[in-house]
Amino acid sequence: MFNEMSAESGSVRAPYEKVAEWISATGVDRLKLRQSEAEAIFRKIGITFAVYGEGGDPERLIPFDLIPRVFGASEWRKLSRGIKQRSRALNAFLYDVYHRGEILRAGVVPEELVYQNEAFLPEMVGVDPPGRVYSHIVGVDIVRTDGDKFQVLEDNCRTPSGVSYMLENREIMMRIPPC
Protein backbone atom coordinates (compact mmCIF):
# COMPACT_ATOMS: atom_id res chain seq x y z
CA MET A 1 0.00 0.00 0.00
CA PHE A 2 1.35 3.41 -0.96
CA ASN A 3 1.94 5.97 1.80
CA GLU A 4 0.82 9.35 0.44
CA MET A 5 2.86 11.39 2.89
CA SER A 6 6.10 9.44 3.16
CA ALA A 7 8.65 8.42 0.56
CA GLU A 8 10.17 4.92 0.69
CA SER A 9 13.18 6.42 2.44
CA GLY A 10 10.91 7.60 5.26
CA SER A 11 11.25 11.27 4.38
CA VAL A 12 8.18 13.42 3.82
CA ARG A 13 7.19 13.70 0.15
CA ALA A 14 7.57 17.28 -1.13
CA PRO A 15 3.82 17.97 -1.64
CA TYR A 16 3.22 17.08 2.02
CA GLU A 17 5.92 19.16 3.70
CA LYS A 18 3.52 21.89 4.92
CA VAL A 19 0.95 19.30 5.97
CA ALA A 20 3.59 17.42 7.99
CA GLU A 21 4.60 20.67 9.70
CA TRP A 22 0.96 21.40 10.53
CA ILE A 23 0.41 17.89 11.94
CA SER A 24 3.55 18.18 14.05
CA ALA A 25 2.59 21.62 15.38
CA THR A 26 -1.01 20.60 16.05
CA GLY A 27 -0.42 17.28 17.75
CA VAL A 28 -2.26 14.00 17.42
CA ASP A 29 -4.63 14.64 20.34
CA ARG A 30 -5.94 17.91 18.88
CA LEU A 31 -6.31 16.31 15.45
CA LYS A 32 -8.33 13.45 16.94
CA LEU A 33 -10.53 16.00 18.76
CA ARG A 34 -11.21 17.90 15.52
CA GLN A 35 -11.95 14.64 13.70
CA SER A 36 -14.47 13.73 16.41
CA GLU A 37 -16.05 17.18 16.20
CA ALA A 38 -16.44 16.85 12.43
CA GLU A 39 -18.00 13.40 12.76
CA ALA A 40 -20.41 14.73 15.41
CA ILE A 41 -21.52 17.46 13.01
CA PHE A 42 -22.07 14.89 10.25
CA ARG A 43 -24.23 12.82 12.63
CA LYS A 44 -26.18 15.85 13.88
CA ILE A 45 -26.93 17.10 10.39
CA GLY A 46 -27.60 13.57 9.14
CA ILE A 47 -24.99 13.45 6.40
CA THR A 48 -24.82 9.71 5.93
CA PHE A 49 -25.19 7.06 3.28
CA ALA A 50 -26.66 3.59 3.46
CA VAL A 51 -24.74 0.34 3.10
CA TYR A 52 -27.02 -2.67 2.94
CA GLY A 53 -26.14 -6.34 3.18
CA GLU A 54 -23.30 -6.04 5.69
CA GLY A 55 -25.44 -6.37 8.78
CA GLY A 56 -25.73 -3.87 11.61
CA ASP A 57 -26.75 -0.26 11.11
CA PRO A 58 -26.76 0.48 7.38
CA GLU A 59 -26.30 4.23 7.97
CA ARG A 60 -22.65 5.30 7.73
CA LEU A 61 -20.97 8.66 7.91
CA ILE A 62 -19.65 9.93 4.61
CA PRO A 63 -15.89 9.50 4.22
CA PHE A 64 -14.04 12.36 5.90
CA ASP A 65 -10.38 12.93 6.60
CA LEU A 66 -9.11 15.97 8.43
CA ILE A 67 -5.75 15.56 6.72
CA PRO A 68 -5.98 16.67 3.09
CA ARG A 69 -4.80 14.68 0.11
CA VAL A 70 -2.11 16.73 -1.62
CA PHE A 71 -0.86 16.41 -5.19
CA GLY A 72 2.19 17.99 -6.71
CA ALA A 73 1.68 20.06 -9.88
CA SER A 74 2.91 17.30 -12.20
CA GLU A 75 0.69 14.71 -10.46
CA TRP A 76 -2.32 17.01 -10.78
CA ARG A 77 -1.65 17.63 -14.49
CA LYS A 78 -1.46 13.87 -15.09
CA LEU A 79 -4.68 13.20 -13.16
CA SER A 80 -6.47 16.13 -14.75
CA ARG A 81 -5.62 14.98 -18.28
CA GLY A 82 -6.64 11.41 -17.50
CA ILE A 83 -9.94 12.35 -15.87
CA LYS A 84 -10.87 14.68 -18.74
CA GLN A 85 -10.02 11.95 -21.25
CA ARG A 86 -12.06 9.43 -19.28
CA SER A 87 -15.03 11.81 -19.10
CA ARG A 88 -14.93 12.32 -22.88
CA ALA A 89 -14.69 8.54 -23.40
CA LEU A 90 -17.67 7.86 -21.13
CA ASN A 91 -19.78 10.46 -22.92
CA ALA A 92 -18.67 9.03 -26.30
CA PHE A 93 -19.71 5.57 -25.08
CA LEU A 94 -23.14 6.87 -24.07
CA TYR A 95 -23.54 8.67 -27.39
CA ASP A 96 -22.72 5.46 -29.25
CA VAL A 97 -25.09 3.39 -27.10
CA TYR A 98 -27.98 5.81 -27.73
CA HIS A 99 -27.22 6.19 -31.44
CA ARG A 100 -25.45 3.67 -33.68
CA GLY A 101 -24.55 1.10 -31.01
CA GLU A 102 -21.32 0.15 -32.77
CA ILE A 103 -19.61 -0.93 -29.54
CA LEU A 104 -22.50 -3.28 -28.86
CA ARG A 105 -22.75 -4.68 -32.41
CA ALA A 106 -18.99 -5.32 -32.40
CA GLY A 107 -19.40 -7.35 -29.19
CA VAL A 108 -16.96 -5.19 -27.23
CA VAL A 109 -19.70 -4.69 -24.64
CA PRO A 110 -22.45 -7.32 -24.42
CA GLU A 111 -25.83 -5.84 -25.39
CA GLU A 112 -27.58 -7.33 -22.36
CA LEU A 113 -25.28 -5.38 -20.02
CA VAL A 114 -26.61 -2.19 -21.53
CA TYR A 115 -30.17 -2.90 -22.62
CA GLN A 116 -31.12 -4.83 -19.47
CA ASN A 117 -29.51 -2.28 -17.15
CA GLU A 118 -32.03 -0.27 -15.13
CA ALA A 119 -30.10 2.92 -15.97
CA PHE A 120 -30.62 2.44 -19.72
CA LEU A 121 -33.37 4.78 -20.93
CA PRO A 122 -34.90 3.68 -24.24
CA GLU A 123 -36.53 7.10 -24.58
CA MET A 124 -33.02 8.58 -24.96
CA VAL A 125 -32.29 6.61 -28.15
CA GLY A 126 -31.56 9.15 -30.89
CA VAL A 127 -31.55 12.14 -28.53
CA ASP A 128 -28.67 14.54 -29.20
CA PRO A 129 -27.72 16.34 -25.99
CA PRO A 130 -25.83 19.63 -26.43
CA GLY A 131 -22.17 18.92 -27.13
CA ARG A 132 -22.92 15.18 -26.97
CA VAL A 133 -22.55 15.45 -23.20
CA TYR A 134 -24.81 13.08 -21.29
CA SER A 135 -22.99 13.31 -18.00
CA HIS A 136 -21.76 16.74 -16.95
CA ILE A 137 -20.39 15.39 -13.69
CA VAL A 138 -18.38 12.19 -13.68
CA GLY A 139 -17.20 10.55 -10.48
CA VAL A 140 -13.89 8.77 -10.89
CA ASP A 141 -12.66 6.82 -7.86
CA ILE A 142 -8.87 6.74 -8.03
CA VAL A 143 -6.21 5.17 -5.82
CA ARG A 144 -2.47 5.63 -6.02
CA THR A 145 -0.74 2.32 -6.54
CA ASP A 146 2.84 3.59 -6.61
CA GLY A 147 4.76 6.86 -6.50
CA ASP A 148 3.57 8.03 -9.90
CA LYS A 149 0.91 5.45 -10.79
CA PHE A 150 -2.82 5.65 -10.25
CA GLN A 151 -5.62 3.18 -10.84
CA VAL A 152 -9.30 3.83 -11.42
CA LEU A 153 -11.54 1.74 -9.18
CA GLU A 154 -14.80 2.80 -10.79
CA ASP A 155 -16.55 5.49 -12.78
CA ASN A 156 -19.90 6.89 -11.84
CA CYS A 157 -21.97 8.85 -14.34
CA ARG A 158 -25.41 8.04 -13.00
CA THR A 159 -25.15 9.35 -9.44
CA PRO A 160 -21.74 10.80 -8.66
CA SER A 161 -22.28 10.94 -4.90
CA GLY A 162 -18.65 11.84 -4.36
CA VAL A 163 -19.51 15.41 -5.39
CA SER A 164 -21.81 15.74 -2.40
CA TYR A 165 -19.12 14.19 -0.17
CA MET A 166 -16.63 16.78 -1.38
CA LEU A 167 -19.05 19.68 -0.85
CA GLU A 168 -20.09 18.50 2.61
CA ASN A 169 -16.48 17.80 3.62
CA ARG A 170 -15.54 21.35 2.62
CA GLU A 171 -18.50 22.76 4.53
CA ILE A 172 -17.58 20.84 7.69
CA MET A 173 -13.91 21.86 7.38
CA MET A 174 -15.07 25.49 7.45
CA ARG A 175 -17.32 24.88 10.48
CA ILE A 176 -14.83 23.25 12.83
CA PRO A 177 -12.37 25.51 14.61
CA PRO A 178 -8.84 25.42 13.24
CA CYS A 179 -6.34 23.31 15.13
Q: For residues 160 and 134, is the Cβ–Cβ distance under 8 A? A: no
Cα–Cα nearest to 86, from 177, 7, 166, 154? 154
Residue 142 lies in a domain: yes
Helices (H), the chain: 17-26, 28-45, 73-97, 102-105, 111-115, 162-175
Residue 2 lies in a domain: no
- Domain that residue 100 falls in: 14-175
CB atoms within 10 A of CB 77: 11
Which residues touch 59 (CB under 8 Å, ≥6 apart)?
A: 48, 49, 50
Residue 131 lies in a domain: yes
Residues of the chain with pLDDT under 70: 55-56, 159-162, 177-179
Cα–Cα nearest to 50, from 59, 41, 42? 59
Residue 137 lies in a domain: yes
Residue 32: the pLDDT is 93
Tell me how many domains the chain contains: 1
Residue 178: the pLDDT is 67
Residue 7 lies in a domain: no
Q: For residues 80 and 71, is the Cβ–Cβ distance under 8 A? A: no
Residue 8 lies in a domain: no
**Cα separations in angstroms, 78 against 67, 74, 82, 109:** 22, 6, 6, 28
**Cα 123 versus chain centre, distance:** 29
Residue 1 lies in a domain: no
Residue 148 lies in a domain: yes
